[in-house]
Amino acid sequence: MEEKIVRAHVYVSGIVQGVFFRSNTRNIARSLGLCGWVKNLFDGRVEAIFEGPQDMVKKAIDWCRHGPPGAVVEDIEVKWEEPEGEIDFRIIY
């Protein structure tokens, strides 16, 4: 049975810029076989899209709850959306 493909739109707030959050998110997502992207927002948050098997997307979201060393995650918002067929996982600058 094929696992359901899902899309999570994630916003992470706290001390999440300048601590390699984007590059670590990309590495984690790729290691989990996920597609999507991650970027910094002007308000200090990090925004990410994770697309892939539901259990792997949940692992990526769980990682975002603490982030890399140096990050201080204060809040995480997750919105579930319809998959859009993302290809690869990239950092948007």
Residues labelled as active-site residues? 22, 40
Residue 54 sits at the vertex; the CA angle it makes with 2 and 17, to the nearest 5 degrees, is 145
Cα–Cα distance measured from residue 73 to residue 10, given in angstroms and rounded to the nearest whole number = 13
Structure tokens belonging to residue 19: 């601590």
- Can you tell me the distance from the alpha carbon of 47 to that of 33, in angstroms, rounded to the nearest whole number? 19
Bridge-based pairing state of the strands 35-40 and 89-91? parallel
